[in-house]
Amino acid sequence: MSEVEPVRVAGAAIAPGTRERLELPTVRLATGSQLTLPLEVLHGARPGPRLWLSAAVHGDEVNGVEIIRQVLGELSPGRMAGTVVAAPIVNVQGFMAESRYLPDRRDLNRSFPGSARGSMASQLARLFMREVVEGSTHGIDLHSGSDARTNHPQVRADLADPNTRELARAFHAPILIHAAVRDGSLRAAATARGAKVLVYEGGEAHRFNSEAIEVGAAGVLRVMKALGMRRTAPEAPSAPPLRSRSTAWVRAGRSGLVRVLVAPGQMVEKGQRIGVIKDAFGDRVLQVKASRAGMVIGLTRQPNVNRGDALIHIASLEKGEEADGPPVSPPDPEASPGSAPPG
121-138 residue pLDDT tens: 999 999 999 999 999 999
52-78 residue pLDDT tens: 999 999 999 999 999 999 999 999 999
In the structure, what pLDDT confidence band is assigned to residue 327 with cuts at 50, 70 and 90?
low
What is the spatial distance between Cα 190 and Cα 159, in angstroms, rounded to a whole number? 16
What pTM did the predictor assign?
0.93
* Number of domains within the chain: 2
71: nearest Cα among 228, 235, 214, 227: 214
Cross-strand pairs, 140: 53, 198
pLDDT at 332 over 60: no
User: Same structural domain for residues 87 and 192?
Assistant: yes
What does the DSSP 8-state code read for residue 251?
A: E
273-308 residue pLDDT tens: 999 999 999 888 999 999 999 999 999 999 999 999
In the structure, what pLDDT confidence band is assigned to residue 325 with cuts at 50, 70 and 90?
low
User: Same structural domain for residues 21 and 142?
Assistant: yes
User: Same structural domain for residues 102 and 206?
Assistant: yes
Q: Could you tell me if residue 338 is inside a domain?
A: no
Q: Which residues contact 270 (CB under 8 A, 6 or more apart)?
A: 290, 291, 292, 293
Instruction: State residue 336's pLDDT score.
Output: 41
In the structure, what pLDDT confidence band is assigned to residue 330 with cuts at 50, 70 and 90?
very low
The parent domain of residue 281 ranges over: 244-324
User: Same structural domain for residues 292 and 147?
Assistant: no
Instruction: State residue 282's pLDDT score.
Output: 86
Here the CATH number for the domain that contains residue 94 is 3.40.630.10
Q: Which residues contact 162 (CB under 8 A, 6 or more apart)?
A: none
Parallel, antiparallel, or unpaired for β 256-260 and 273-278? antiparallel
Here the CATH number for the domain that contains residue 289 is 2.40.50.100
